[in-house]
Chains A and B, each alone.
Chain A
Amino acid sequence: MDNAFTFFAQQMLNGLTLGGLYALIALGYTMVYGIIQLINFAHGEFFAAGGYMGVILLSYMAGAGYMDTHPWLCIGFSLVLSMLYCAMLAMAVEKVAYKPLRHSSRLSVLLSALGMSIFLQNALMLTQGVYDKAYPGGIFGAPFEIGGVIVNYMQLLILALTAGLLVALNFLVFKTRVGRAMRATAQDKVMSALVGINSNRVISLTFAIGAGLAAAAGIMVGFYYGSVRFEMGFVPGIKAFAAAVLGGIGNITGAMIGGFIIGMVEIMAAAYIPYGGEYKDVCAFIILIAVLYFRPTGIMGENVDDTRV
């Protein structure tokens, strides 16, 4: 195997890992947009809050010594707890900032969402500090090599967990009663209410699921990069939104594919384009603008009846 191919395969793996994380965040955007046509600006903050909740729980358990004896149990426990916590947080934010504005203009709801985002981000900064918080390291052992490609156990875990969550979500949305209610509400709120679906409950649930997925992504980002930061929700949030738009907003499969594409393009741009590393954050924006300009319904098509674009 030659060097160029190994390099490419390495970048491919990194891109897949990053893309999986974006996909997890993008799902929250796309589900919320699909159901109430709102860009949930605070979504990136749920991602950051998940990361922080993870570091709090893990450090606490490491301090108590459980981390050395049962590392996987600790990770699983903090993952589940953070997801639950962020789900509840998202439901609370929805009730406070979005639900009273259900019948106001879109601009009002958008500004309210933006206000919530700034509020949560600054709440995190004020109380958890301005500096990075380090995740406990050294749990996953040394990376190994397959044909010259260096594989980190963390990357495998991220890929496995992402795949698992995506399959679970697909099952939930397309195979269960709750999922059917969600899809019905996304299609027509009035009609679904007439056939006995409690749309408020469905909307709450949508927020909760999206935030839970974002929280999982937050913890994995914490492990992958070794630390979390109060403003970490902002840029990944926009990129994930770009992914959601790329896949066709409101379309769950599209958001997953879009996430992987955005992650892949970002990594490849950093690796192959000169100065790409410095401008890699621009890639997602350019993709976003290009998609909105040339194909506003995204690659998979929109699932919502929307005349806005």
Chain B
Amino acid sequence: MTHGFRKQLLYFMVALVWLFALLWPLLDINPDGTLGFWRSFAAWMPIAVAGSIVFVLYQIRQAGWLGAPARMLETGRQALGARLSLIPAWVWFVLIAAVFFAIPQFTDRRVHDILIQVLVYVCLGLGLNIVIGLCGLLDLGFIAFYGVGAYTYALLSLHYGISFWLALPVAAFLAMIAGCIIGYPTLRMRGDYLAIVTLGFGEIVRIILNNWMSLTNGPNGVMAKPLTVPLPMFEGGFRIEEVALRSLGDLYYVAFFLAIITIIAVNRLNFSRIGRAWEAIREDETAAELMGVNTFAFKLMAYAMGAVFGGLAGAFFAARMGFVAPESFTFLESALVLSIVVLGGMGSIPGIILGAFAIIALPEVFREFQMYRMLAFGGAMTFMMLVRPAGLIPAKRMGKRGEEEE
């Protein structure tokens, strides 16, 4: 650790303490003049404890006390990695898929519910990953496509009685159209401007859903039909009947199916010609254009593809909840999906799956801290950018953009 770095760290710590000291008065004085220290004390205590533990561990590591065990761990990890890399990737994929396939047989309703949510957010995260992770466009209105998909299924099933599986491609298609409509005027902008304009578009979609009473029933929301699957029936002659899936265990398999489709599709896209073009745009748009990549078309395609997965997830969400309302599609949801992508690692599929678990499942496990969820996400987002901008599992093919010179 160089002297300069130590000094910077010290400054940072002082600034952090200062920030919290400043937040105290705002947090602990009620408008009637009474003090409420105990309330925020409960909020800050876990943060302070976790922070101190991390800091102490960091200091111990810096002091070199962990040298011997860390080296052993490292050599062991390398040996294991060498051994494991002989097994082809698809074996892992099948193994993990089998575990996930078997999970509902051994768990209860609550676990099903959490897992379904995680899988929906895996789809959303991977969809957003195409836009942010692969193409490098910061999209803060991604939840709009989720909303378009959800409303598409809800309205189609309500008014025309169309089944989930027919509505699914329609939802994906409409979300794609929405992606193109939003993408077309905005994609000429770069970086920050794109972020704020997509944020604006996300809000516009929500406001329209909220106010277009004749179509969306406004803030009251729309009831959606439950999800059905066609099953062959043999009693009294053969026929195919639509059976409604009511148990969460069955719905889990549908979510699982969608997530697998998304994972395979995003993986294939990533290593295709299109994926390479996206990554070229992410690393240096001007250079990519000079190399003959049609940047505008590929950016629009990234937007549309991301929207497709958002739409699929949205249609499933509507079928699973049986009800959609505009308040499910606020900016905070966009931020949630974004934090999944950022936490897991932009451009990294395993990272995003891990991120979805961390952000959706962990708060469910620690139910008491439910209220502090978004607070923790906000803090975690800043923290990740400070210490590990590439995410928990960084993508393999990521250029130097993470540590750009300026």
Q: Which positions in A face B, CB cutoff 8 Å?
A: 37-39, 49, 52-53, 55-56, 59-60, 63-64, 85, 88-89, 92-93, 95-97, 99-101, 103-112, 114-124, 126-128, 133, 234-235, 238, 241-242, 245, 275, 278-279, 281-282, 284-286, 288-289, 292-293, 296, 308-309
A241 to B192, CA, bound (A): 11
For B374, the chain A residues whose CB sits under 8 A away are: 118, 121-122
B12's contact among A100, A112, A284, by CB below 8 Å, is which? Answer: A100
A278 to B211, CA, bound (A): 7
- Interchain CB contact under 8 A, B385 and A104: yes
B163 to chain A, nearest CB (A): 34
A288 to B371, CA, bound (A): 34
With A278-B207, A293-B185 already in contact, 16 other A-B pairs whose C-beta atoms are closer than 8 Å: A56-B29, A64-B33, A85-B25, A108-B402, A110-B138, A110-B191, A114-B140, A114-B335, A116-B378, A119-B375, A122-B375, A127-B28, A238-B199, A238-B200, A289-B186, A308-B189
List 6 interface pairs A-B (beta carbons < 8 Å), by A numbering.
Answer: A38-B192, A107-B401, A112-B385, A114-B338, A123-B27, A288-B197
Across chains A and B, the number of contacting residue pairs, with CB separation under 8 Å, is: 207
B35 to chain A, nearest CB (A): 11
For B335, the chain A residues whose CB sits under 8 A away are: 114, 118
- Interchain CB contact under 8 A, A96 and B16: yes
A95 to B12, CA, bound (A): 7
- Interchain CB contact under 8 A, A309 and B190: yes
| Chain B facing A: main interface SS | helix
B84 to chain A, nearest CB (A): 32
A63 to B28, CA, bound (A): 17
- Interchain CB contact under 8 A, A105 and B33: no
Cβ of B86 under 8 Å from chain A: no
B381's contact among A111, A123, A127, by CB below 8 Å, is which? Answer: A111
A22 to B379, CA, bound (A): 28
For A241, the chain B residues whose CB sits under 8 A away are: 196
For A281, the chain B residues whose CB sits under 8 A away are: 203, 207
A256 to B383, CA, bound (A): 34
For B211, the chain A residues whose CB sits under 8 A away are: 275, 278-279
Cβ of B46 under 8 Å from chain A: no
Residue on B with the closest CB to A119?
Answer: B378
- Interchain CB contact under 8 A, A289 and B19: no
Q: A56-B31, A92-B15, A127-B28 are in contact. Are A115 and B375 (CB under 8 A)?
A: no
A39 to B381, CA, bound (A): 16
- Interchain CB contact under 8 A, B186 and A95: no
Q: A118-B378, A309-B190 are in contact. Are A95 and B385 (CB under 8 A)?
A: no
A138 to B193, CA, bound (A): 42
A111 to B343, CA, bound (A): 11
Q: A103-B406, A122-B375 are in contact. Are A59 and B43 (CB under 8 A)?
A: no
- Interchain CB contact under 8 A, B386 and A101: yes
- Interchain CB contact under 8 A, A308 and B26: no
- Interchain CB contact under 8 A, B26 and A127: yes
Residue on A with the closest CB to B43?
Answer: A126
B19 to chain A, nearest CB (A): 4
- Interchain CB contact under 8 A, B378 and A108: no
Shortest beta-carbon contacts, A-B, top 9: A115-B381, A119-B378, A118-B378, A95-B15, A285-B200, A115-B382, A92-B19, A59-B31, A127-B27
B118 to chain A, nearest CB (A): 21
